[in-house]
């Protein structure tokens, strides 16, 4: 199945509205490297066939957490939770449009010089939206047809973070499910 850029942007904007009550404006193709902030990745499909990644600068992560938690000074765990859940909501919408299920919980990495890279998969969509003047990057990676999916990972090199599908390797409190098709 195919996901258009417009569909990816719409799903992302709807999720941003749920979290922030704000409009997210599409500003074009993203250049997701050398990022500072929070990156949340969640695989989808059973077996995994791709991953959805969301990245944002610290200021937007803090705004997300502060808004949904109604807290003035959210801590790092709160920011990771909010960005991870945003990725989860977007991944659910994307996976549904692609005819897949989300089988895992998000993995969240915070740091500097981050890159959105999913080994074993190729980026098919990367867009940047603007939310309250902050960039929100969303990227969709899919495995090429016939390629084993267990190599897919979210790799944030500067933070030395790597989360392989099917494992329970986790950061910021996220953990993978056991892959029961009912989930």
Partner 1 sequence: MKFLIVDDSKAMRMIVQRTLRQAGHDDAEVVEATDGAEALEIVKTEQPDFILSDWNMPKMDGIDLLKALRAEGIDTGFGVVTSESTPQMQELAKDAGARFVISKPFTAYDLADALEGVA
Residues in contact with partner 1 by CB under 8 A are 14-15, 17-19, 64-65, 68-70, 78, 81-82, 84-85, 88-89, 91-93, 95-96, 101-105, 175, 177, 180-183
Q: Are 87 and 42 in contact (CB under 8 A)?
A: yes
Q: How far is the CB of 156 from partner 1 (least distance, A)?
A: 20
Complex with partner 1: residue 117 or 136, whichever CB lies closer = 136
Q: In angstroms, rounded to a whole number, what is the distance separating the alpha carbons of residues 45 and 23? A: 29
Complex with partner 1: residue 107 or 117, whichever CB lies closer = 107
Complex with partner 1: residue 81 or 155, whichever CB lies closer = 81
Q: How far is the CB of 33 from partner 1 (least distance, A)?
A: 27
Backbone angles phi, psi at 96, to 5 degrees: -60, -40
Q: How far is the CB of 168 from partner 1 (least distance, A)?
A: 9
> Radius of gyration over alpha carbons of the chain, in Å?
15
Complex with partner 1: residue 5 or 101, whichever CB lies closer = 101
DSSP lists the bridge partners of residue 2 as: none
Backbone angles phi, psi at 83, to 5 degrees: -70, -40
Q: Are 168 and 176 in contact (CB under 8 A)?
A: yes
Q: Are 107 and 153 in contact (CB under 8 A)?
A: no
Q: How far is the CB of 114 from partner 1 (least distance, A)?
A: 21
């Amino acid at each position: 199945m195919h996901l258009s850029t417009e569909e990816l942007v719409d799903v992302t904007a709807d999720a941003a509205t749920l979290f922030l009550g704000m409009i997210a404006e599409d500003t074009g193709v993203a250049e997701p490297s050398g990022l500072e902030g929070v990156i949340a990745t969640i695989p989808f499909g059973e077996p995994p066939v791709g991953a959805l990644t969301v990245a944002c600068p610290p200021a937007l992560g803090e705004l997300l957490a502060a808004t949904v938690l109604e807290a003035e000074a959210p801590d790092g765990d709160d920011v990771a939770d909010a960005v991870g859940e945003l990725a989860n909501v977007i991944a659910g919408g994307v996976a549904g449009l692609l005819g897949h299920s989300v089988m895992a919980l998000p993995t969240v990495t915070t740091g500097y010089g981050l890159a959105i890279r999913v080994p074993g998969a190729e980026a098919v969509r990367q867009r940047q939206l603007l939310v309250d003047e902050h960039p929100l990057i969303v990227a969709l990676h899919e495995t090429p047809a016939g390629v084993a999916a267990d190599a897919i990972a979210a790799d944030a090199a500067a933070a030395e973070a790597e989360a392989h599908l099917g494992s329970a390797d986790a950061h910021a409190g996220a953990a993978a499910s056991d892959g029961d098709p009912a989930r």
